[in-house]
Structures are given as C-alpha cells and as structure tokens.
Amino acid sequence: MELSLSSSTVAVLLIYRPGSAAVTDAFFTELSAYLEMFVLYKCQILAAGDFNIRVERAGYADAARLHNILQSFDCVQEVPLTPTHRSGGTLDLVVTKSEQVVVDMTVGAPDIISDHSVISWCFPLSIEPSIVINGEARSWSKVNMDTFRAALLESELYSAEHHATTAEDYFELYVSVLTRLTDQFAPVERMTLHR
C-alpha cells in the first residue's frame, strides 16, 4: 500500500505471520522482495504488524535473520523489547528506515483488546520537494506517414532542378529539408513533468 499526503509519500507494508506455523524461508524471501521494491522509491517506509518472531531473544536464529535483513535495507525495528503478547515475547513490530523518526511510541498491556498489545506511535511525515523536469518532445505518433511521405517526395531532395555538387551540399540539403518537414509535421512541444 502507498499512502500520499500532499507532497509526502509513505510506503506501508502490513504484516501478519501466523504464530501457529514455524517461520519459513518463504517469509524472509517475500519480506526481502517487498523491501527491495520499497527502497527504489524516494519515500518513507513503514512495515508493521504481527511478525510472530521473538526478537527479544538474543540467540534466536529467526530473530537474527530478521535483524540481518532489516539491517541490509538500512531499516530498524522500533518497538521496545517488552512483551507484546499475553504469552510473552516481542512479536508485534514497527519497522522504518534508520533515518526516519518514530515518536511517542506506547505499548499497551496485552489482553485489553486481544491477546496482543495495542501499539501506538507518531510518524512525522517528511515533505520531499517534487522533482521538476523540463523537456521537449515531438508527437511522432500523431504524424500521418502518408502525408509526410508525400511532402518528402515533393521536396528539393527529389527535385531534378536542385544540383548539389559536393557531399557537404547534399548533407546540408538533407538536414534542412528534414528539419523543415519535422518542424511542420511534428513540432517541438515543451513540457514540464513533476515527480
């Protein structure tokens, strides 16, 4: 999901991985694929949800693998290493880019709404200036090729009256005729693109 507010864009990934099943390679592969896609965009990243990986356990292989993946994409896990489930464990996570700021994070007690904690936080939006590109283009797709061909056949390039004597003369004639016809049939259009 991508959320855009004014000139700020946040790529949001909501995750639920069932705790009843073991963590698989497919989970880590898919998470990496999404993060790869998100880093291509010039935007903030937010991944949150029930990962069901006990990140508070220092020697836990799945926690280490998750940490390594996040680190490789310059992402950090923001939730304090306190229980977010009635049975213990920090299972519910909030992941952002390392330079992003998460403030006012609170982790509620489990068992108030569900067996998981309610986690709330503020995520200030960074306003990125839009990228403005000025360019020129010709609408070749709108040109009627039969009409263009007819104008080319009627030009000085096909005239028996025009006598070029050197290769330079032929080249200058070629350039001048094609420039004139191009400007006539597909004039330059100026455009401004905002990204």
Half-sphere exposure of 145 (CA within 13 A, CB side): 2
Residue 73 pLDDT > 70:
yes
Lowest mean pLDDT among 39-48, 67-76, 91-100, 170-179: 39-48
Could you report the per-residue pLDDT of 19-67, keeping only the tens digit for each?
888 999 999 999 999 999 888 877 888 999 999 999 998 789 999 999 9
pLDDT beyond 80 at 5: no
Q: What is the pTM of this model?
A: 0.61
Other CB atoms within 10 Å distance of the CB of residue 52: 22
Enter the tokens of residue 129: 């200036």
pLDDT of residue 143: 92
- Is the predicted pLDDT of residue 189 greater than 80, yes or no? yes
Distance, in Å, from the CA atom of 100 to the CA atom of 125, rounded to the nearest integer, reads 9
Q: Per-domain residue ranges for the chain?
A: 2-122, 132-194
Residue 195 in this model has a pLDDT that exceeds 70: no
Residue 167's beta-bridge partner residues? none
Angle at which helices 145-153 and 167-185 pack, to 10 degrees? Answer: 140
Of the CATH numbers 3.30.310.50, 3.60.10.10, 3.20.20.80, 1.20.1630.10, which one belongs to the domain with range 2-122?
Answer: 3.60.10.10
